[in-house]
Amino acid sequence: MTDVTARRLTSYAHGGGCACKISPGELEQLVAGLLVTPPATAGTRLLVGLDDGDDAAVTELTGATADGAGLAVVSTADFFTPVVDDAYDWGRIAAANALSDVYAMGGRPLFAVNLAAWPGEGPEGLDLAILGQVLRGGAEVAAEAGCFVAGGHTIDDPVPKYGLAVTGLADPARLMTIDRATPGDQLILTKAIGTGVVATALKGGQAPEDVITAAVASMILLNAGASQAALQAGVRAATDVTGFGLLGHLHRMLAASQAAARIHAASVPLLPGAAELARAGFISGGTRANTERMRGFAAVDPAVPAEIAVLLHDAQTSGGLLLAAPPAAAAALLDALRAQGLPAALIGDIVAGESGHVDVYPARSE
């Protein structure tokens, strides 16, 4: 662990990590009028854009040939305010989070550029050596992913921010998108949830050290292995779980797929200490916005404990993949994920019903 500043990094922002996102309802209104069809470009075709709110944009370069798979470019960008006080850990978390968008599409990262905003000189400034620790953390996680960090862009800003713009490659015939979930698919979550309540408690100086350590370990873990296992199992519908929370990201998948879902709250994996912190009221503004956005889309059984209901909306940072697995492949996929040491769990299923609707039950009925 590296030394932190005299003023804690998390004190520079009103919300940390993906909890600092614009609320999902406001964002949907903002981008609704941005769908513009560009002129056709020879040799390229946009496969995934703004239409459904997928995790990354995808452009096809070549279709499948007799000699092998086709080739598509995956492009994404993600950055956020400090989610922890340790600069090196923040860099690692932000990089893993940005790379996750490529994995969620079934791609592999190729190269990235840094995106950073940093308070300059003055009483509210931060030593550039601390930014160096952030960049080192990001570069090390990118290297673990086999992804080159090739430059970037920085600006002077009173609120520190860091992330990556990532370019990756994928087979256009094997993309995972949010609009392909089908009734009967089994919903598998690859990481535990609860990073939002942990980050909120950390910001308030109330998170136990062992709880912080477990959350950081989860957030720096790449979704590379989970993505590969999903592709091998034939998964075609997936998303990663970040700032809109588990139910918010599931809702986006369901709305794009014209389907509904059932979730069994007791099956959802939780980070150590997350339920206790949620019960104690460490709820971020992002989580409250998620809860409000899902009113009318999520029906939570009154028997579900209040703290679990909070965690289902909890604004995650660098969360796991939410996979809609074909029923015949779900059991083997779950075994493959757990063999990687992931706390993967079968948390529900896709059903026919009102588009975008989620029913949350306390537990799976046998």
Rounded to the nearest 10°, the torsion over CA 146, 71, 323, 222 is 10
Q: Span 113-133, mean pLDDT? A: 89
pLDDT at 211: 98
Between 45 and 267, the more confident residue is 267
Cα–Cα distance, 91 to 308 (Å, whole number): 29
pLDDT at 90: 98
Q: Span 351-359, mean pLDDT? A: 98
Are 117 and 155 in contact by the 8 Å Cβ rule? The answer is yes
Q: Span 247-270, mean pLDDT? A: 97
Cα–Cα distance, 95 to 162 (Å, whole number): 9
Smallest CA-to-CA distance from 223 within 294, 159, 166, 160 is with: 166
Give the catalytic positions in this structure: 18
pLDDT at 151: 92
pLDDT at 114 over 60: yes
pLDDT at 252: 95
* Tokens read off for 94: 């932000």
* Tokens read off for 55: 């995790």
Cα–Cα distance, 269 to 325 (Å, whole number): 18
Residue range 319-332, pLDDT digits in tens = 999 999 999 999 99
Phi, psi of 329 (to 5 degrees): -105, -10
pLDDT at 15: 61
Cα–Cα distance, 357 to 261 (Å, whole number): 7
Between 60 and 316, the more confident residue is 316
366 Cβ contact list (under 8 Å, min separation 6): none
Can you give the chain as a three-state secondary structure string? Answer: CCCCCCCCHHHHCCCCHHHHCCCHHHHHHHHCCCCCCCCCCCCCEEEECCCCCCCCEEEEEECCECCECCEEEEEEEEEECCCCCCHHHHHHHHHHHHHHHHHHCCCEEEEEEEEEEECCCCCCCCCHHHHHHHHHHHHHHHHHCCCEEEEEEEEECCCCEEEEEEEEEECHHHCCECCCCCCCCEEEECCCECHHHHHHHHHCCCCCHHHHHHHHHHHHCCCHHHHHHHHHCCCCEEEECCCCHHHHHHHHHHHHHCCEEEEEHHHCCECCCHHHHHHCCCCCHHHHHHHHHCCCCEEECCCCCHHHHHHHHCCCCCCCEEEEECHHHHHHHHHHHHHCCCCCEEEEEEECCCCCCEEEECCCCC
pLDDT at 3: 43
The confidence band for 38, taking pLDDT boundaries of 50, 70 and 90, is: low
Calculate the average pLDDT of the chain. 90
pLDDT at 338 over 80: yes
Cα–Cα distance, 194 to 9 (Å, whole number): 20
Smallest CA-to-CA distance from 242 within 16, 33, 57, 85 is with: 16
Between 55 and 307, the more confident residue is 307
pLDDT at 19 over 60: no
Q: How many residues does the chain have?
A: 366
pLDDT at 5: 46
Of 17-21, 75-79, 142-146, minimum mean pLDDT range: 17-21
The confidence band for 215, taking pLDDT boundaries of 50, 70 and 90, is: very high
- Angle between helix axes 209-220 and 87-104 (nearest 10 degrees) is 40
Q: Span 175-197, mean pLDDT? A: 97
pLDDT at 37 over 80: no
pLDDT at 322: 98
Q: Span 155-164, mean pLDDT? A: 95
The CA-CA-CA angle for residues 339, 344, 347, to 5°, reads: 145
The confidence band for 163, taking pLDDT boundaries of 50, 70 and 90, is: very high
pLDDT at 25: 56
Please tell me whether the overall predicted TM-score, pTM, comes out greater than 0.85 for this model: yes
Alpha-carbon distances of 319 from 97, 340, 344, rounded to whole Å:
8, 16, 12
pLDDT at 121: 72
